[in-house]
Every structure is written in C-alpha cells, then in structure tokens.
Structure 1
C-alpha cells in the first residue's frame, strides 16, 4: 500500500505520498466498485514528476476498513469533495475515474463547481456509461455465487480459484455497497462542465459500450475526445491496454493549461471528432 501522510487530516482519503515536486499538478484517481487506492499503484512512475498522482481511498477498504462503505452517491460525493478542499487539492487538479470512479469523479466536479471551487483542468472518465444511462442494473441484489460469476466474467478475478474465493469473500460487502451506489443513482440535469473531457472505452466491456461511453460528450461544453482500447471492463489493471492508457493520459496532461491566465481551452477538431481511437 502507499505510504501514509499521518499528519494530514485527509490522510485516510488520500494515503499516497506527498508530491515530490512542489509544482506538480494533482491527478486525483478514483477506483472502480470494490476497488482500493492500490489500483493506481505504479502510475506515478509512469506519468512523471510534474504530475502528482493522488489515489483516493474510499471508506470500507484499506486502512479505512473499519469505516462503513457508503451505499448512496450523494453523501459520498459531499465527503470526497470536502476532503479535496481540505487537502488543498481543488485547484489546478485533474480527475480520473474508472467505472463507478468515473461517475463519482463527474459528480465531485459538479459539486466543487457548485461550491464556487474551480472545475478540474481535465476530467478523464473510463469504463463507464454516461450518467443518464445508469439505473438499469440491480447487480447488488444478486446472490453471492451469481455476483462472483459476474465479476469473473468481467475479468475482475483472474487468479487461482482458492485465492479468488478468499479475495472475493473479503471484498463482497464493499462491492455490494458500491454497486448499490451506482444502481440507485439517478442523474440530476444541470449545465455541462466547461473543462476538457476524455472518455476511454474498451472493445469487450460488457458494462460500458462504445456508444454509451460516447454519450459523455454532452457533459462538457469544452473539448471532448473518446479513446477506444482493446480489452474488457478491467483493461486498466494490466497489459498493453494499460500501457496505452497511461501514454494517452500523459499526452493529454502535457497539453493541459492551468492557472488564472490560461484562458478557455481551445476547441480542437481532432478532440471533437465523433469517433477517435
């Protein structure tokens, strides 16, 4: 696990190390349902010293194991947005979220905007249908065996059966809570964000098809790009698609202009193409 900043009031939320470079821009990374901050282990080395990778640890996992996980999105959004402000991570920051993390990243961006805080310099959403398309599944109600089979079919369990069974048993309460967060969520119409957005879809993702991922386009008035990768729902966990994802993140972050003098992001024809891989 990442080293913990024990002096910070928000160390539970953001257990990673402090930025090595005082000028590094935060990239706050939110995990998928049932996931922990360790999903983003190794990203710092790949993205470079000018980016400060800040993995978020949600209640009910890791060093927060004794805290009950949230079962509704609104209080989770409020708590995470407050933690970002208190940790002074709500300025010149970017957000990345995968699956449930993408939904949470979007709602946190909206919450911060409503509080008068800046929007992210860039919002990255991955492995997620657009918010208005949520609410069609009830996986959190599945029996244990059926839920385990679903996760296995999605590629979330790829070790030997004995290890998988023990791992899944430990993660089950948090996974059910997170799935309930997603499946009881109902999008509330509001103005689109102004920040640039990049959405990542995967060729064999059974939970977020290419058209469902493309539907994120309506959620920003800034530039939008969808990148299409090979793999299933958990493509970010390893292999060539993970490498490509990190290269594309690095490329996008290199072009982010932040600060009060940056001005609006220019509309780029390539970024706004309806289908870009």
Structure 2
C-alpha cells in the first residue's frame, strides 16, 4: 500500500488552519494536506500566544513528530507561515528526524532580511491603519470594533513574532529543496524570494502568480498542482 505524503500547511499572521481546508479538494488520496493550528486561535483559542519563534517551533514540532508518514512530508507556509516552516525544518533536523522532502515558502523574505517596521506595539487606531494597508484582513473585522477587539491580540502577537525574529547563524543551511512563491504585485517580490536559494544546498525553484500579498487565495489550485508535481504525487480536482 502506498504511504501518504503529508504537506503540513502553516498560516500567515492572523490566519487559522481553516484557510487551507478548501485546498484539500485538489489533491489525490495519496497526499494529505495537514493544516497546522497555532496556539491562540481556532480550536486552540484558549491557549496563550507564542512569545518567540523558538516557542512556536517547539510547540509545532511536538504536534507533528508522531504524524510523520513513511511516504514523506513537506511544509507549505505563507508569509509568517513560511518563516515558521523554515525554522520548523531546522528543528526537525536538530531533533534527529529526517528533513522534509520540500519547503514551499510563499510571500516571505529570507531569514537574513529586515522584517520591516514594527507595528505590533502601536495604539489601536494606528495598528488598525497598518493592518488595513496590507489588504489581508476582512473589512468586517476592520470596521466592527467588537470583532476587531477579538482579532487584534492575535494579529499583535503574530506581528511581534515576525518583528522580533532573528536568524541564529549556526547551522542555517538546510538540505531540503525550496520552492519560493511570490505575487507579481507584492512588496515581497521575485528578487527577495530568490534570496532563499542561499539557504539550501538542495534544488531551488522560483514561481510567480498574479496578485498582491494574498495572491494564494486566488491561485490555490495552481499552487497545489505545482506542490504535487514537486513532491511526486498525483494531482486531481475532486468532484
């Protein structure tokens, strides 16, 4: 019997595992898309947020260590999720597990690049303005204070994680092949995604799709197709 290849999917800042559910309609039964849930949201809403990247990867490592399939596994991460995917890959290797077959890193700068201005500490109205400019938060969240008050702590915690992230220079190379994915109208552009090539001794691929930072929502079917090709499993649209 063929063993399933698992693709662990990591959400962007403010996102939950549910954003990847519809992606499952585009994979064959010999691959499993496994969305990961961060502490503090979704089914883990009551848990405290991560205080550091090390805490995040420690938690996620222990959640997936027993799920690794003989058919292999890969990571897909968008924006903050891509950074966590890279560090989680390093954690897996550090703990003596086989490295993932592939890393799909979408809309995220390489670890040695500046993360941009800090916004997680801003007063509510200024923070809301910065979040709105990213065009990734639904308007009903932005314009309804009671809803924003629920989401703001999640967003602040995630942006703190990104903004305070620092690459630890020791053993930053990985052997896992990387596919860098970017939106043609995103500020995180082709050149910045190409910098990931320096972080792997394996193959590196670069692919672009029309759209801004959240291009994955409009192109998830094409992205899943490419992921399946890269890890050597079949692609199918389920009816």
Q: Is 1:245 aligned to 2:226, yes or no?
A: no
Alignment of 1:12-161 (within 5 A): 23-88=3-68, 92-160=72-140
Q: 1:149 to 1:91 in 2, by over 3 A?
A: farther
Partner of 1:205: 186
Partner SS state of residue 141, structure 1: coil
Are the equivalent residues in 1 in contact too, given 2:101–2:231 (CA < 8 A)? no
User: What's the CA shift string for 1:167-209, capped at 9, x where partnerless?
Assistant: 4332110111111111101101224111111010112223x22
TM-aligned CA distance change 1:192 to 1:249, over 3 Å? same
Residue 205 (structure 2) aligns with: 225
Distance 1:218 1:51, change over 3 A: same
Is the aligned partner of 1:214 residue 2:199? no
Alignment partners' CA distance in 1, 2:156 and 2:64: 25
Deviation >6 Å, runs of 4+: none
Number of residues of Structure 1 aligned to a counterpart in Structure 2: 233
Residue 180, structure 1, aligned to residue 167, structure 2:
no
Shift, 1:252, TM fit: 1.8
Q: Give a deviation string over 1:200-243, Cα, whole Å, max 9, x none.
A: 0112223x222111111111111000101111111112x2x333
Q: Secondary structure at the match of 1:236?
A: helix
Other structure's SS at 2:176 match: coil
Consecutive unaligned residues in structure 2, runs of 5 or more: 235-239
The RMSD of aligned alpha carbons is 2.3
Task: Rate the CA distance shift 1:205–1:90 in 2: closer, same or farther, 3 A.
Answer: farther
- Once the two structures are superposed, residues 9-44 of structure 1 have per-residue CA deviations (whole angstroms, 9 ceiling, x without a partner) of xxxxxxxxxxxx972111000101111001101111
Moved more, 140-149 or 37-46: 140-149
Distance 1:88 1:249, change over 3 A: closer
Output the CA distance in 1 between the equivalents of 2:151 and 2:100: 31
Work out whether residues 154 and 232 of structure 1, in 8 Å CA contact, stay in contact via their aligned partners in 2. Answer: no
TM-score computed with the length of structure 2 as normaliser: 0.89
Deviation at 1:146, TM superposition (A): 2.6
For 1:160 and 1:80, how far apart are their aligned partners in 2? 30
